[in-house]
Amino acid sequence: MRQPRSPIALLLLDVDGVLTDGTVRCSARGDEEKSLFMRDVDAVFEARRRGLLVGLVTGEDAPWVDFVAGRLAVQSVAKGAKDKLAAVRQLAADAGVGLDAVCYVGDADRDAPALAAVGLGLAPHDASAEAKAAASIVLASPGGRGAVAEAVELALRSGQRASTDDSPDTAGPAADEDALAGIRAQIAETVAVQQAMAGTLGPEILQASRLVVRALAEGGKVLVFGNGGSAADAQHMAAELVGRFQRDRAGLPAIALTANSSIVTALGNDFGQAEIFARQVEALGRPGDVAVAISTSGNSPNVVEAARRARALGLQVVALTGAGGGELGPLADACIAVPSPSVARIQEAHAVVIHLICAAVDATRYVGAK
């Protein structure tokens, strides 16, 4: 993670994928419609109130850009900017600041050169891989849903960080308090998401628990799969069932389809990544089993394909996803869609759901009885 070399004076924002979530809706008249997240709008005004210059850099040259600039009261705008770095250089020169004092937020491959050149390059959580690699920091929030608010906070803190970088001994209580405030804010967000889940998803969690308990009670098994952090969650769930959760009992048949590296790499090489879980479901799944499909977006192609194959083979499907459920939702007998756009918050909630399901298994004494 690269820290800014000097205090940030100019904050430049891409529009699509940063100020908006990148989606376009068409009205009945054929007009393009996009939406702004009010927390991001408020953050821009707070940035200007606290002395930051704010501008927009976008490849578009449409009336909607003028509307956004007017809504945010932004004076510096580069429209139709196909070369983002050149546009950033020009706006910095117009503002009389060096690139070291610029924070740029971009989400696409064409933003990468600008992200790498400025003092603080920030990429939303759902940015392209190239943009993330070029950025100083990858934000926890996605574009159009808090990325700008998070960027403003980092840009405003840059002055405090820059003043302490050359002399670590002078970091002092103020910097510590900022760090503690950030920790408290993330914990509060985690608690809020899980409280929302408790208020709305209880029936879905109960249904998922019943499906798993019934499968195990009737001699079936649990197949769990996902990518990345969700792969870790799959192994976590399988370990709790094969081993033990809260009570001493016999081991239960659960398989994480992510765990055998030879199988996963062979299937990826021979059949393609979309088949690495579906092929295992074919080989191991039987009617009466449960497939637990984990994807924070609900749209991971290999997870969706495995869930589709599981249904075709007569397995029950439990889906653990983020807000909306994605493509997985309609394929699931029980879909637990965590009400958050943040991957980190969704993964934390998935861990709680896994524990709740395992607790339900432990509470059923005839499952795993010795």
Instruction: State how far the Cα of 30 lies from the Cα of 28, in Å rounded to an integer.
Output: 5
* Residue 153 CB neighbours (<10 A): 17
Please tell me the predicted confidence (pLDDT) of residue 70: 86
Identify the band that residue 31 occupies on the pLDDT scale cut at 50, 70 and 90.
low
> Whose CA is closest to 357, among 187, 233, 193, 230?
233
Same domain, 40 and 114: yes
Residue 184: inside a domain: no
Most confident of 124-133, 189-198, 289-298: 289-298
Average pLDDT rounded to a whole number, residues 282-302: 96
Same domain, 128 and 247: no
Same domain, 39 and 119: yes
* Residue 46 CB neighbours (<10 A): 14
Same domain, 314 and 240: yes
Please tell me the predicted confidence (pLDDT) of residue 162: 43
Spatial neighbors of 29 by CB under 8 A, at least 6 apart, are: none
pLDDT one-digit tens code per residue, 270-280 = 999 999 999 99
Identify the band that residue 301 occupies on the pLDDT scale cut at 50, 70 and 90.
very high
Same domain, 200 and 118: no
Instruction: State how far the Cα of 99 lies from the Cα of 4, in Å rounded to an integer.
Output: 10
Range of the domain at 347: 194-363
The domain boundary residue, chosen from 150, 165, 180: 165
Please tell me the predicted confidence (pLDDT) of residue 208: 97
Average pLDDT score over the chain = 88
Residue 4: inside a domain: no
Q: Which two tokens stand for residue 4?
A: 């800014």
Residue 185: inside a domain: no
Whether the pLDDT of residue 50 is over 60: the answer is: yes
Residues 307, 304, 35: CA angle, nearest 5 degrees: 140
Average pLDDT rounded to a whole number, residues 160-179: 55
Average pLDDT rounded to a whole number, residues 205-210: 96
Could you please report the per-residue DSSP string of 143-170?
TTTTHHHHHHHHHHHHHHHHHHHT-GGG
Does 221 or 38 have the greater pLDDT score? 221
> Which CATH number does the domain housing residue 110 bear?
3.40.50.1000
Spatial neighbors of 297 by CB under 8 A, at least 6 apart, are: 321, 322, 326
> Could you tell me the pTM of the whole model?
0.57
Spatial neighbors of 310 by CB under 8 A, at least 6 apart, are: 223, 281, 285, 291, 293, 317
Q: Which residues of 104-128 are buried (b: 16+ CB within 10 A; e: fewer)?
A: bbbbbebbbbbbbbbbbbbbbbbbb
Residue 153: inside a domain: yes
Spatial neighbors of 355 by CB under 8 A, at least 6 apart, are: 240, 245
Residue 370: inside a domain: no
Residue 34: inside a domain: yes
> Which CATH number does the domain housing residue 203 bear?
3.40.50.10490
Same domain, 136 and 280: no
Same domain, 27 and 103: yes
The domain boundary residue, chosen from 122, 145, 165: 165
Instruction: State how far the Cα of 31 lies from the Cα of 24, in Å rounded to an integer.
Output: 10
Residue 171: inside a domain: no
CB 8 within 8 A of CB 155: yes
Instruction: State how far the Cα of 328 lies from the Cα of 306, in Å rounded to an integer.
Output: 10
Number of domains composing the chain: 2
> Whose CA is closest to 289, among 321, 319, 255?
255
Identify the band that residue 252 occupies on the pLDDT scale cut at 50, 70 and 90.
very high
pLDDT one-digit tens code per residue, 5-27 = 568 999 999 999 999 987 866 65
Average pLDDT rounded to a whole number, residues 312-338: 95
Whether the pLDDT of residue 217 is over 50: the answer is: yes
Most confident of 11-25, 61-75, 81-95, 160-174: 81-95
CA distances from 256 to 147, 170, 284, 294 (A): 33, 49, 11, 11
Spatial neighbors of 176 by CB under 8 A, at least 6 apart, are: none
Identify the three-state secondary structure at position 101: helix
Work out the burial of residue 25: count CB atoms within 10 Å of its CB; fewer than 13 is exposed, 13-18 middle, 19 or more buried. exposed
> Whose CA is closest to 224, among 99, 325, 357?
357
Residue 212 has phi, psi (to 5 degrees) of -70, -45
Same domain, 115 and 198: no
Same domain, 204 and 161: no
Same domain, 233 and 101: no
Please tell me the predicted confidence (pLDDT) of residue 29: 64
Whether the pLDDT of residue 332 is over 90: the answer is: yes
Same domain, 155 and 208: no
Whether the pLDDT of residue 123 is over 70: the answer is: yes
Residue 83 has phi, psi (to 5 degrees) of -100, 95
Identify the three-state secondary structure at position 32: strand
Same domain, 107 and 66: yes
Average pLDDT rounded to a whole number, residues 358-364: 92
pLDDT one-digit tens code per residue, 127-169 = 999 999 889 899 989 999 999 999 999 998 875 544 444 444 4
Residue 336: inside a domain: yes
Please tell me the predicted confidence (pLDDT) of residue 1: 46
